[in-house]
Copies of this chain bind each other. A is one copy, B any other.
Amino acid sequence: MTLATGRPFLMIPGPTNVPEEVLRAMHRPAVDIYVGPLVELTDNCLRDLKTIFRTQGKTFIYASNGHGGWESALTNTLSRGDKVLVLDSGRFARGWGEMAAVLGLDVEILPGDWRKAVDAEALQARLDADRDGAIKAVLVVQVDTASGVINDIARLRKAIDAAGHNALFLVDTIASLGCVPFEMDAWGVDVALTGAQKGLMTPPGLAFVAANEKALAAHEHADLKTQYWDWTFRLGEEHYQKYCGTPPEHLLFGFREALDILMKEGLDASHRRHRLLGEAVRKAVNVWAKDGALEMNILEEAERSNSVTVVLTPGLDPAALMRFCEETCNVKLSGTIGEINGLGFRIGHMGYVNAPMVIGTLGAIEMGLAALKVPHGRGGVQAAVDHLTSAVSE
C-alpha cells in the first residue's frame, strides 16, 4: 500500500531542497570567465554574503564543499604547531579537529557530550588556565547535524572574553547560516564559514568564508597558507583570482537566485520561520515520545537546533521507519551517523522548507509509527499544527 507517487519530500539535513528558480538558473550555457556578466555577479555575491554573515569583513567564495571551508579557515590563519582548541559537541567539530591535526596543528579537544551543547564555563576555565596564550584558535560548530545541537556562539564569545584570551574564534555555520541568527561582527567571530547546500538552498559545490580584521592580521603570518585557499591571492584584482582559477559558473548562477530568495524573505523572517518549524517538529516528537519508543537526542530544549532534529529510537528500527516514509510517502529522512549510527533518524528542516512540508513530513512519520506498530502517543501532527496555528494567529 503506497501513497508515494507525488512530489518528493527531501527532509534530510543537507543537501536540501533546491528552489525551481535556482535549478533553472543553472540550466544555461557557460560564459567567459574574464569579462562579462559573471564579473558583476561575483561582486554582488561577495557583497551579499557580508549581509548574510552580518559582517563588515572580507568574504570569499570557493569551488569546494564545506570541508574546504574548514581548510580555508585553518590554513589562512594558523601556523604549523599552533595549538587549537576544538569544542566538542558532536561529529563535525571533531572532524574539523581531525583536519587540523593533519595540517600539523596541535589539537586539543574540550570534552563534550553528543547530547549537549558546549559548556561555556568549561571553555572559560580552560582558557583561564592557558596563561601563556598557547591556544591560538578556538573551533566550534554552531549547529552539528549529527547530534542536532545548537551551540550558543554569543555565550561562548563571552566566555573567551571573560578569560581575557586572545585566541581566534572560528565558527562553522554550515548547518545554520540563513536558518538561525548569526552575528559575526556583533558576536566577535573572527572567521565564519558555510556551504551552499543547507540554509543557502543551492546545490553542493560552493563554500563561503568570512574573515574580520583580526583574522586578516593573523593571515599575514600564517604559514599553513596554500594558494588554493589563500585569501591574499583571492583579494587580487583579476576576476579569476577571486576563485583561484575558473569560477564554478553554473553553481554561481544558481547561488545568485538563492540569495535573491533569501534576501527577499529577509533574514529575520527566515530565522522566525525556521524557529517555528523547528518547534513544530519537536512538539510532534514529544507527543510521540510518550511511551519511550523514541526520544530527542539533545536533552535540553534550548540546545536543540531549529534546522535539524535528531531522534533516537530505542523502541523501533529506524531503518524500517525511514523505509516506510520513503516507500509509502516519498518522504526522505536521514539516518543518524557517527557515534549514534543506526540508533535513530534525522529530520532536516532547513533552507527552502515551509509549514506544509513540515506538517506533511510529520504526517508520514506518524503513519509509519502506526504501520510499524510502534507504541507512541498519537496526535503529534496535530500538536505541530496547533503550535503553528497559535503562532500565525497572534
Contact = CB atoms under 8 A, between A and B. Distances in A.
Contact of A2 (B8, B31, B269, B371): B269
A142 to B, nearest CB: 17
A8 B334 CA distance: 23
B354 A246 contact: no
A386 B390 CA distance: 22
A302 B243 CA distance: 33
Interface string A230-266: 1001000000000111111111000000000100010
Contacts of A29: 8, 10, 17-18, 20
Nearest to A332: B32
A102 B249 contact: no
A363 B366 contact: no
A356 B361 contact: yes
A301 interface: no
Interface string A328-342: 111110110100000
A98 B98 CA distance: 28
**How many copies are assembled?**
4
A385 interface: yes
Contact of A3 (B6, B225, B276): B276
A393 B9 CA distance: 21
Nearest to A262: B5
Nearest to A98: B227
Given A250-B26, A359-B363, A226 B75 contact: yes
Interface in A347-368: 352-364, 366-367
A128 to B, nearest CB: 31
Instruction: List the 5 closest A-B pairs by CB distance, nearest first.
Output: A356-B360, A6-B354, A360-B360, A359-B363, A205-B248
25 contacts: A1-B392, A3-B388, A5-B269, A5-B273, A5-B353, A6-B354, A6-B355, A7-B7, A7-B17, A12-B32, A15-B246, A26-B203, A65-B243, A68-B228, A68-B244, A75-B226, A102-B226, A103-B226, A103-B227, A204-B248, A328-B392, A357-B360, A359-B359, A360-B360, A371-B389
